Amino acid sequence: MIPGAFAYHRPKTVKDAVAMLSELGPDARPLAGGHSLIPMMKLRLSSPAHLVDLRAIGELKGIRAEGAEVVIGAMTTQHDVIADSMLAARLPILRETALVIADPQVRYVGTIGGNVANGDPGNDMPAVMLCLGAVYQVAGRKGERRIAARKFYEGAYMTALEPGEMVTAIRIPVPPSGHGAAYEKLKRKVGDYATAAAAVVLTMSGGRAATCSIGLTNLAETPLWAEEAAKAVVGTTIDAAAVKKAAAAAEAIASPASDNRGPAEYRKKMAGVMVARALARAKTRAG
Amino acid sequence: MAKVQVTMKVNGAPAEGLVEPRTLLIHFLREQLNLTGAHVGCDTSHCGACTVDLDGRSVKSCTMFAVQADGADILTVEGLAAPGGTLHALQEGFREMHGLQCGFCTPGMLTRGYRLLEENPRPSEDEIRAGIAGNLCRCTGYQNIVKAIQYAAARLAGAPVKEAAE
Amino acid sequence: MNDVTPSSAERAEKLQGMGCKRKRVEDIRFVQGKGSYVDDLKLPGMLHGDLVRSPYGHARVRKIDAAKAKALPGVVAVLTAADLKPLNLHYMPTLAGDVQAVLAEEKVLYQNQEVAFVIATDRYVAADAAELVEVEYEELPALVDPFKAMAPGAPVLREDIKDKTDGAHGKRKHYNHIFAWQIGEKEATDQAFRKAEVTVKELISYQRVHPCPLETCQCVASFDKIKGELTVWGTFQAPHVIRTVASLISKIPEHKIHVIAPDIGGGFGNKVGAYPGYICAVVASIVTGRPVKWVEDRIENLSATSFARDYHMTTEIAATKDGRVTGLRVHVLADHGAFDACADPSKWPAGFFNIVTGSYDFPVAHVAVDGVYTNKAPGGVAYRCSFRVTEAAYCIERAMDILAQKLGLDPAELRLRNLIRREQFPYQSALGWEYDSGDYHAALKKAMDAVDYRALRAEQKARQEAFKRGETRELMGIGVSFFTEIVGAGPSRNCDILGIAMFDSAEIRIHPTGAVTARMGTKSQGQGHETTYAQIIASELGLPADDITVEEGNTDTAPYGLGTYGSRSTPTAGAATAMAARKIKAKAQMIAADLLEVSEYDLEWDVDRFRVKGNPERFKTMKELAWAAYNRVPKGLEPGLEAVNYYDPPNMTYPFGAYICVLDVDVDTGVCKVRRFYALDDCGTRINPMIIEGQIHGGLTEAFAIAMGQEIRYDEIGNCTNPSFMDYFLPTAVETPKWETDWTTTPSPHHPIGAKGVGESPNVGGVPCFANAVNDAFKFLGSTHIAMPHNHWRTWTVADKLGLHG
């Protein structure tokens, strides 16, 4: 499988990258890790005339704490996310999620920015970002703006990014210490997209869930923020009845396609099972 | 499309060439540098037969353009043995433990195993299995590949190696 | 004898002969990236071919316009059926007596069928040009379900043969019918069923899968116009057969065709046949006068080159109340896709499916098979099994479990009551085979003891009780399978490929220094022949294995052979190797007698030498005899020391084994986790235990993949929905279970070294073992048969239908 021809650009700054993307128009695509885009190009499902490689832009890399937030540069790889000790301590769900994305080679190259920005409903990080209430820092010709993850996804491969815009960083409000989180993913094998997956972040107080947020992966055209499912457990001990309610609420908003992972009906049910299991694990982890 | 110049270090030696921007790194290595150890097995970045080590990372060279590797330091299976020809402990381990059959996935497995041991010199069996999960093998069932990597880990640590396969 | 003379045992050990875990010779190049595979080959002026393929499952080809493609700089030519037709190469003969379109002429009959072949200066340009070939199609209704193939009014698939009433195996019943084949005693079998105390019946389907070696199919063709000679390097499991077929098709004399199979990156049956890409590359080289390379990509491989299985087996067993089988009746509907390109010996349109009585003493049996066309890729190869043997093993092993369930018997117990007994060998099966040797009861009992079968059943019982009480959501399944393979095709009275008897060959040349070059008609694709054949020679001739080079795959140098598939290498070429070595040894003995001035009869063989009986200090080593053969041969004897043997086996060999699998099923997700897998194999004499174990690991892993997830799926309009590694299940090291291997040794009585072949046993025995384990988990709830593959959603659906989700 051979990709079509394109012109290659390697800007050194975000400003230059944005200028190029705006100038070259819709035939240009930013290239991050490339592990979604390049296979699509090899299948000739995507034939951009220009690729703007972001790898030389130093300002897009790195993980840092900024007050109550953690800021992760868009070109930070999944491997970097897994290896970062600050993240492991403050946002362990990111490491847990990154570890079930693709395989080791892909994680060395695949970036968190690419994962959240390309709008592929099969990507794992978007649901986690919805769950965490992350905000994407976006650069465009008109300057910078911020878009809440929960408002970012509009359809399969359709996002709130305007032409010429790119995600430069992800800002994540750090949940309080003692929170419990889990990412539960059902897949056929390593390297697969989720049949269904659920991200849960919760806090417990006096044996009851004080707060809870739930995100779902690959169960609709976009990642889903399952508000009703989360509400079903807040104030409860996360007992069986509450979990059942949460699972049902998750199933109710899931509208997966039938594919080789299973018929829609099955995948919908798996949304509930993944939510139930993620809740159980998050609860045991909450301090 | 106009060709562009790429320069990199491959197996310790400088390498350069003119490539189309769309030239995949695997094709640059195999066809321009005649390093045919790494293979194309799946085209969709699942099988890992094309794995090489690039700037300290294991990458699938079928899912990377040669231009993206401009300036990189690359190690392929051809560069694993010592300059005098002494096999790397992994190469020795794969032979000792019968970690290969048709040999097609082997170069990718070896370069992946190399990076895995660089990062985690004494991996558990589960860590090895997770560590090579980006490399498919159709022949061995992986069990002896795991043993081969364990053999290499022990050898590199100067520890006695276990009894050979079976 | 003095003190420094090594003992016989010490000398034998140094030879690295049969029975030792010799490290593989091949590995030295492979671990250094110095294997030599087809795509590594670069020839001066070489062009690259790429195929334009049909997006439709069934369509009329209205028009092909290659003008834009031809105008692209770097494009040398574009071939279509119109170019091949004058050469009579637009169709090629298949191994099954049918023809297959090389490039589609008027119709396409499956998605990704070959329509045009683009030839360009590099593979990138070829890919660009393939996109520029404009083909106008008129879509036709697709026939995907084999059960609808022979319905009245079903779409006519093969217009080229629609009025042909005779197929390669008799009358055709319908325009989409390929063949009917039957074997066994129908009336006696029907009678057994009429009298039976108990009967069971089930439709047991084995889904369409693909062998999927990691290296795809590929070739380089180079035609030398001056010499009129064609050289083809390719991924060929049977290079000589390819040469003969190429000669018959192209009319190039066979001595002017050179076929070379270099290192092959796995075959598993995928690389037995000839594919349109090969023909196109050859024609392209003849047309352009330059070498042409064709390399399939993975989607092409999975969707267009040979599939395996797609067998739908309606299976019935008759038995007594106390669990004695009295009859077996099977009807198979075989989906062969759009062309019958099934790779079986010519007289066997359903392969050796009549091994379906398995390891059990069925007094009577009857099998009938109907092959049909559908709008799917052609093929029907033996994916890591002898011809249709894994289908047969899956069929009988599932059916025996279903019978056990009906009788309320433990599946292992039912098997013990019906296994062929040791004293019955050689055993005549009801469907015509003569099983050579076996000790089935000993094998199954050893397996049951090794896993503590009773304790597992007790644990399962406790788990079922806990499940009923709501204490666990996991069920435990224990799968038992006992298989008999039939490998080593074959006696020439039974087996031929396009008229060529299925013997195999070895040629051994002992050089003056005692070094050896040996060549065989088989072709390793990872089996380690360079290592193991040398071990046979080492043991037979007393020369160190390290001094023996084994070569295969070059038709100019290797003796004619039928290739490697169906676990036939050891039974045929392995036997030929031993026989050729024995010819050499006989001559060496004459030379030794002459040198030692005794009668041949006064000599005895001792590991690596002939010595004088009763006077062991007087001896000549084989190395000395090699020198003598070129230096001082006895009067009347030719100089030199070499031999060739073409071995036509008197019978096939019958490896067998007992496998037990333990797995846990998560009823809420359908995920099955294999906890334990124990495999006991009996492949007769063991040449290299390390390689045997490796073959079993690999075969079990492929069996696991097939049973738990592999499937080539088509939607209702004939789109292949999963031809990539995203969807086609190849397990990674994480999903793959750990394997426990064990063995018994029952040599084959008719094979020169008693070996039987092993590469495919684990696939044959493994698939039903996994399937039986999954079925076993649900059996106590009334489930009888669950279709493969046992992927998550299918397993979950079973649980759902049983009401386990509340």
Question: How far off is chain B from A238, nearest CA to CA, in Å?
Answer: 32
Asked if domains C8-35+504-647 and C307-489+652-801 share a fold, the reply is yes
**% of chain C with per-residue pLDDT over 70:** 100
- What is the number of structural domains in chain B? 2
Which residue matches tokens 């009129």? Answer: C228
**C-chain residues within 8 Å CB-CB of B144?**
693-694, 697
Asked if A266 and C793 come within 8 Å (Cβ–Cβ), the reply is: yes
**A84 domain-assigned:** yes
Q: Are residues B10 and B74 in the same domain?
A: yes
- What is the bridge-based pairing of β-strands C257-260 and C325-335? unpaired
**What pLDDT score does B43 carry?**
83
- What is the number of structural domains in chain A? 3
Q: Are residues A75 and A133 in the same domain?
A: yes
Q: Are residues A185 and A152 in the same domain?
A: no
**B116 domain-assigned:** yes
- pLDDT band for C1, please (50, 70, 90 cuts): very low
**What pLDDT score does C490 carry?**
81
**In chain C, domain spans:** 8-35+504-647, 38-140+216-264+271-304, 307-489+652-801
**What pLDDT score does C167 carry?**
87
For residue A108, give the nearest of B21, B43, B59 by CB distance.
B59
Number of CB atoms found within 10 A of residue A150's CB: 17
**What pLDDT score does C168 carry?**
84
List, as ranges, residues 13-32 from A with C-beta within 8 Å of B: 31
pLDDT surpassing 70 at residue C3: no
For B110, residues 6+ apart whose C-beta sits below 8 A from its C-beta are: B77, B80, B88, B90, B91, B94, C31
pLDDT tens digits for A11-61?
A: 999 999 999 999 999 999 999 999 999 999 999 999 999 999 999 999 999
Question: How far off is chain A from C517, nearest CA to CA, in Å?
Answer: 40
CATH number of C307-489+652-801: 3.30.365.10
Number of CB atoms found within 10 A of residue A50's CB: 19
Among C424, C398, C339, C353, CA closest to C770: C398
**A1 domain-assigned:** no
Asked if A260 and C727 come within 8 Å (Cβ–Cβ), the reply is: yes
**What pLDDT score does C4 carry?**
63
Q: Is C384 a catalytic residue?
A: yes
Q: Are residues A193 and A272 in the same domain?
A: yes
Q: Is C735 a catalytic residue?
A: no
C690 in contact with B, Cβ within 8 Å: yes
**B-chain residues within 8 Å CB-CB of C692?**
166
**B84 domain-assigned:** no
**B164 domain-assigned:** no
Among C329, C397, C306, CA closest to C767: C397
The answer to whether the pTM exceeds 0.95 is: yes
**What pLDDT score does C170 carry?**
87
**B-chain residues within 8 Å CB-CB of C698?**
101, 138-141
In whole angstroms, give the CA distance from residue C346 to residue C501: 10
**A134 domain-assigned:** yes
As its CATH architecture, domain C38-140+216-264+271-304 has Alpha-Beta Complex (3.90)
Q: Are residues A189 and A108 in the same domain?
A: no
**C-chain residues within 8 Å CB-CB of B123?**
none
Q: Are residues A195 and A103 in the same domain?
A: no
DSSP letter (8 states) at residue C604: E
Question: How far off is chain C from B18, nearest CA to CA, in Å?
Answer: 15
For residue A190, give the nearest of C131, C734, C797 by CB distance.
C734
A186 in contact with C, Cβ within 8 Å: yes
Q: Are residues B126 and B68 in the same domain?
A: no
**A240 domain-assigned:** yes
**CA torsion through residues C510, C512, C517, C520, sign:** negative
A35 in contact with B, Cβ within 8 Å: yes
Looking up residue B95, the CATH number of its domain turns out to be 1.10.150.120
**A2 domain-assigned:** no
- The average pLDDT across C437-456 equals 98
Asked if A2 and C124 come within 8 Å (Cβ–Cβ), the reply is: yes
Which residue matches tokens 């090699």? Answer: C626
List, as ranges, residues 10-49 from A with C-beta within 8 Å of C: 43-44
**B14 domain-assigned:** yes
For C432, residues 6+ apart whose C-beta sits below 8 A from its C-beta are: C183, C184, C354
List, as ranges, residues 198-217 from C with C-beta within 8 Å of B: 212-216
Helix C440-451 with C453-468: angle, nearest 10 deg = 50
- Mean pLDDT in chain C? 97
**What pLDDT score does A102 carry?**
97
Quick check: C500 and C241 in contact, CB under 8 A?
yes
Q: Are residues A198 and A165 in the same domain?
A: no
Chain C interface, mutation test: which of B98, B132, B155, most C Cβ atoms within 10 Å?
B98
Active-site position among C22, C114, C760, C769? C760
**What pLDDT score does A174 carry?**
98
Looking up residue B44, the CATH number of its domain turns out to be 3.10.20.30
**B-chain residues within 8 Å CB-CB of A51?**
21, 65
**What pLDDT score does A287 carry?**
84
In whole angstroms, give the CA distance from residue A82 to residue A75: 14
Q: Are residues B62 and B21 in the same domain?
A: yes
Active-site position among C22, C309, C329, C384? C384
Q: Is C237 a catalytic residue?
A: yes
Q: Is C385 a catalytic residue?
A: yes
Q: Are residues B24 and B49 in the same domain?
A: yes
For residue B1, give the nearest of A5, A35, A55 by CB distance.
A5
pLDDT tens digits for B100-149?
A: 999 999 999 999 999 999 999 999 999 999 999 999 999 999 999 999 99
As its CATH architecture, domain C8-35+504-647 has 2-Layer Sandwich (3.30)
C600 in contact with A, Cβ within 8 Å: no
Query: Could you list the residue range(s) of the whole structural domain that residue B73 is in?
Result: 4-79
pLDDT tens digits for A153-210?
A: 999 999 999 999 999 999 999 999 999 999 999 999 999 999 999 999 999 999 999 9
Asked if B131 and A104 come within 8 Å (Cβ–Cβ), the reply is: yes
Q: Are residues B140 and B116 in the same domain?
A: yes
Q: Are residues B113 and B136 in the same domain?
A: yes
- Mean pLDDT in chain A? 97
Q: Which residues of C222-234 are buried (b: 16+ CB within 10 A; e: fewer)?
A: bbeeeeeebbbbb
pLDDT tens digits for A111-123?
A: 999 999 999 999 9
Q: Are residues A33 and A67 in the same domain?
A: no
The complex's ipTM works out to: 0.97
Q: Are residues B41 and B94 in the same domain?
A: no
**B75 domain-assigned:** yes
Query: Could you list the residue range(s) of the whole structural domain that residue A209 is in?
Result: 181-285
Asked if A38 and B134 come within 8 Å (Cβ–Cβ), the reply is: no
Active-site position among C16, C237, C535, C710? C237
Q: Which two tokens stand for residue C228?
A: 């009129």
pLDDT surpassing 90 at residue A148: yes
pLDDT tens digits for C510-559?
A: 999 999 999 999 999 999 999 999 999 999 999 999 999 999 999 999 99
Quick check: A197 and A124 in contact, CB under 8 A?
yes
**What pLDDT score does B163 carry?**
57
In whole angstroms, give the CA distance from residue C659 to residue C699: 13
Q: Which residue of A has its CA nearest to B133?
A: A103
**What pLDDT score does C581 carry?**
98
Quick check: C452 and C472 in contact, CB under 8 A?
no
Helix B106-119 with B89-96: angle, nearest 10 deg = 120
Q: Strands (DSSP E) along C351-490, which ranges?
A: 365-372, 379-381, 427-428, 434-435, 474-484
**What pLDDT score does B166 carry?**
47
Q: Are residues A67 and A160 in the same domain?
A: yes
**What pLDDT score does B162 carry?**
64
What is the full DSSP assignment across C575-602? Answer: HHHHHHHHHHHHHHHHHHHHHHTS-GGG
Asked if B64 and A3 come within 8 Å (Cβ–Cβ), the reply is: no
Looking up residue A21, the CATH number of its domain turns out to be 3.30.43.10
Q: Are residues A185 and A161 in the same domain?
A: no
